[in-house]
Structure 1
């Protein structure tokens, strides 16, 4: 799967070093569940798990985002498909050097197209730390509706954080594209 500038593919074992690199960036890890630095051993386990999962089965699947021009891994899009195969949750991470250049929007758009047009999902949700303005803005640009603001919902990295909950229905995506 891909776009003009990106290839979205399964992770390869050789991606572990770059995954460790961008997940170790403090600004990338700030609102995520992992801590920086992200050790190479952890990246190798993560990449093995990513490679073993299926994009069409219930559970998590991680798409590697590769920049065609450089042939380089620049981030990932995570999809957790529910047991009912009709709903999913989406998340995205990009190396800081590749942020604010439209790559995340392009990658997430391609994944949403696959989920709604090819797989026929009914709804995709997204969640982010309320302080993570770029992630919230990306979901809003793509047509997600903010469905909730959960106050002091998550205890992470030593503090309680607010979460924003977003949802996008198939009919909204298909009529808006």
Structure 2
């Protein structure tokens, strides 16, 4: 478990199910949802069990409320010295610096304890808050591409411009 002034960054627990469901429903109702890999909005218990058993995924818990308000993930890549950073904070808790605080502590842990030399991350170019956060975290844009993760109501791919970012440690 990691602790900052306001947050605990820890492994998920089965008792997080209610907060986790609220978080994912909020994420999937965001205006940015079509620009991210879709999460199923059923079987939250099964999904949570998978996250509990994967040490790359960590809950972001607001200490003052003992409530899970987000997650950070450092997904494995083919190179064990590189991790792919992801983050989500519930919309009710955004614009308070929680994603930055959690991501800094999380990356610092992986650098010091796991020997991670580089982080990668990706986001839709139109997701200005995520782009700003990656820049603030010291990431540099290294590639632009057109991609799609979801389809519209007629079954056509929703294509968008995205960028890949890297941060060397």
- TM beyond 0.5: yes
**Cα pair distance change 1:115/1:35, threshold 3 Å:** closer
Unaligned runs of 5+ in 2: 153-157
* Structure 2 counterpart of 1:167: 166
8 Å contact from structure 2 (residues 118, 168) kept in 1: yes
Q: Which residue of 2 aligns with 1:32?
A: 36
Contact 2:38 2:150 in 1 (8 A): no
Indicate the residue corresponding to 1:174 in structure 2. none
In the alignment, structure 1 residue 10 sits paired with structure 2 residue 4: no
Compared CA separation, residues 98 and 156, structure 1 to 2 (3 A): same
1:151-174 alpha-carbon deviations (Å, 9 max, x no partner): x2224233112111100001xxxx
Moved more, 19-28 or 45-54: 19-28
Scaled by the length of structure 2, what TM-score is found? 0.88
The alignment's TM-score, normalised by the length of structure 1, stands at: 0.84
The C-alpha deviation readout for 1:58-89, integer Å capped at 9, x for no partner, is xxx21100000110000000111224320010
- Give the match for residue 96 of structure 1: 91
Runs (4+) of structure 1 moved beyond 3 Å? none
State how far apart, in whole Å, the 2-side matches of 1:78 and 1:18 are.
17
Of structures 1 and 2, the one with the larger relative CO (CA 8 A, separation 6+) is 2
Aligned length: 160
Find the residue that maps to 1:48 and give its secondary structure: helix
Q: 2:79 aligns with which of 68, 80, 84?
A: 84
In 2, the alpha carbon distance for the partners of 1:165 and 1:32 equals 13
Change (3 A) 1:28 1:49: farther
Gaps of 5+ in 1: 55-60, 171-177
Deviation, structure 1 residue 148 = 1.4
